[in-house]
Structure 1
Amino acid sequence: MNVAELFSVRDRVALVTGATSGIGRHIATGLAAAGAKVYICARTEAKLLKAAEEIAAETGGTVVGLVADLSTMDGIKAIAAEITSRERALHILVNNAGTLVDAPLDDYPEEGWDQVIDLNLKTPFFAMQKFLPLLRAGATPERPASVINIGSVGALKIGPREVYAYQASKGAIHWMVKSLAKKLGPDNITVNAIAPGFFESEMTVIHSEEMRQMVVSMVPRRRVGAPEDVAAAAIYLASPAGAYVTGSVLPVEGGLAI
């Protein structure tokens, strides 16, 4: 197998959740540029369709936006049914949709805790569950289907922000991939997590040059993450190059967790 084939995701069918911005958008863009057919989903239709159009224009790839509310079981079932009506198989599932609540420990709200745990932990599990028939249909011993959950450097190293539910949910994601990988390995499905460090997004905004320099000073690579950093990690895990990697957490954080 040549190198191009080794890292190829061409003609694979992928779903990336929460892909209108940030890590999800970077991964969706990378997969589309590499030749995968990419479905993206989010709750806000206008924002979703705009993102799908922009990613397709940027990459020349096939990108389809589907409105979905993954915070509910009905929403998860609906997106699974919609893609099942369009595709015979799903080869790549990227569970990226997530949120965080930053609040002082003494005042940390129960509602915020539940919202974060549900979207960051419950949703990836049940999305994977509902897509299992399509993932199994797309999996072979030579080309396994790939589930990629988005964890966080925040589950590898405790930072200064008070995001207790977020850290707990991402730590659970890191461990959940191991149990799922063990169960689904015989079905030719790999399950891994990517643990991104500091990538600028709607949830992680750099407000000033002073803040940028502070963040960069904590990263041994002396920069924040670039879109291609996380896109390349996802392509690796979803390609033949990553076919023997499962149950792993891949840090993409420039050494921040050291």
Structure 2
Amino acid sequence: MSAEQNNQRFQLENVFNVKGRVALVTGGGSGIGLMATQALAVNGATVYITGRTGEKLDRVTELYGKNIPGQIIPLTSDVTSKDSIAQLVKEIESKEKALHILINNAGISSNPGNTDAEDPKQLQQELFQDSISTFAEWESVYRTNVTQAFFTTAAFLPLLQKGTDLDHGWSSTVINITSISGIVKTSQHHFAYNASKAAAIHLSTMLAHEIASSGLKIRVNNIAPGVFPSEMTAKSSDENQKSALPKEKYEQKVPANRPGKDEDMAGAVLFAAANQYLNGQTVVVDGGYVLAAGTV
């Protein structure tokens, strides 16, 4: 190989190449899921997006699926149901020979609770007696943030392995979107959500280990974002299905002095998808929040 040919391997379109890959992004209609969808589709991937609301998915295709090297294809699905996941596998199997990238992004938050009380009876009231803190809420949060990632990954293993088998030099990848809320020691006033994200991070590690131990060439990593604009953090989205957060609100809370941008997440997604030597890792993209806040 000549020096000129060797140099070409370092070009961005080769280092972060996802052209021609087939991807699935759960919860791809807004927020981080939409950021991941755009990052892949704009760079030549065929991206299937899922969610419970077909109108939202169709809107993404209409807005962001035109005049790009890749494609965005909507598929309505509920990934908290095994039957729905199984149907999703059948639909993609009927259209594609393989799946190269699975991004488990779907997630929900939990009700906030006051953890600042210093009197034991008052803290008991806030954490136990309060009607918004229930077993049902914890189960719902875990079902969406943890359990669905396990079952969706398991269901797509054959298609993911085909992606590795059919493309020399490529190993298919699962990227779980977790959160720095699963790393920091504070509850951030929502125990259920933070506990579920910690579980999702450990689930990613276990899946990476067990899949590799089974001899499959499928990488599993997770991206742990800090504060990014989404319907979860901003409580709404605009007509372009994009959310916004005020920069000044985070100037004293994050070393970066701002919330995350779409491009910040796009870079992380392309890195995790394309880097063939990355496996079993947590990629923290948080503007330095964990550095400032401390960890467990």
TM range (shorter): over 0.9
Unaligned 5+ segments in structure 2 are 1-8, 114-126, 237-243, 292-296
CA displacement 1:203-235 (0-9 Å, x = unmatched): 10189x997424231111111100111111111
| TM-score, normalised by the number of residues in structure 2 | 0.81
The answer to whether the 8 Å contact 2:229/2:245 transfers is: no
Classify the secondary structure of the residue corresponding to 2:259. coil
Question: Does residue 1:25 correspond to 2:34, yes or no?
Answer: yes
Give the distance between the partners of 1:94 and 1:237, measured in 2 at CA.
Answer: 10
Give the distance between the partners of 1:248 and 1:7, measured in 2 at CA.
Answer: 18
**Stretch deviating more after TM superposition (41-50 or 96-105):** 96-105
Ranked by relative contact order (alpha carbons within 8 Å, sequence separation 6 or more), the top structure is 1
The answer to whether the 8 Å contact 1:40/1:52 transfers is: no
Pick aligned residue for 2:226 from 188, 197, 202: 197
Change (3 A) 1:144 1:60: closer
Question: Does residue 1:180 correspond to 2:215, yes or no?
Answer: no
**Paired letter, 1:45:** G
Question: Does residue 1:226 correspond to 2:255, yes or no?
Answer: no
Classify the secondary structure of the residue corresponding to 1:157. coil
Identical-residue share of aligned pairs (%): 37
**Stretch deviating more after TM superposition (122-131 or 66-75):** 66-75
Larger Rg: 2
Pick aligned residue for 2:146 from 100, 121, 136: 121
Give the distance between the partners of 2:30 and 2:270, measured in 1 at CA.
Answer: 18
CA displacement 1:30-65 (0-9 Å, x = unmatched): 101111100000111111111122121374531100
Give the distance between the partners of 2:98 and 2:110, measured in 1 at CA.
Answer: 35
Number of residue pairs the alignment of both structures matches: 255
CA displacement 1:157-205 (0-9 Å, x = unmatched): 2456422121111101111111211222331111000000001111101
Off by >4 Å, runs of 4+ in structure 1: 209-212
Which residue matches 1:91?
Answer: 100
Give the distance between the partners of 1:46 and 1:148, measured in 2 at CA.
Answer: 25
Give the distance between the partners of 1:74 and 1:161, measured in 2 at CA.
Answer: 34
Classify the secondary structure of the residue corresponding to 1:138. helix
Which residue matches 1:244?
Answer: 277
Which residue matches 2:136?
Answer: 111
Which residue matches 1:61?
Answer: 70
Unaligned 5+ segments in structure 1 are none
The answer to whether the 8 Å contact 1:146/1:238 transfers is: yes
The answer to whether the 8 Å contact 2:251/2:257 transfers is: yes
Classify the secondary structure of the residue corresponding to 1:235. helix
CA displacement 1:93-127 (0-9 Å, x = unmatched): 00000001123223212221111100110000000
**Stretch deviating more after TM superposition (11-20 or 51-60):** 51-60
Question: Does residue 1:149 correspond to 2:176, yes or no?
Answer: yes
Give the distance between the partners of 2:64 and 2:136, measured in 1 at CA.
Answer: 34
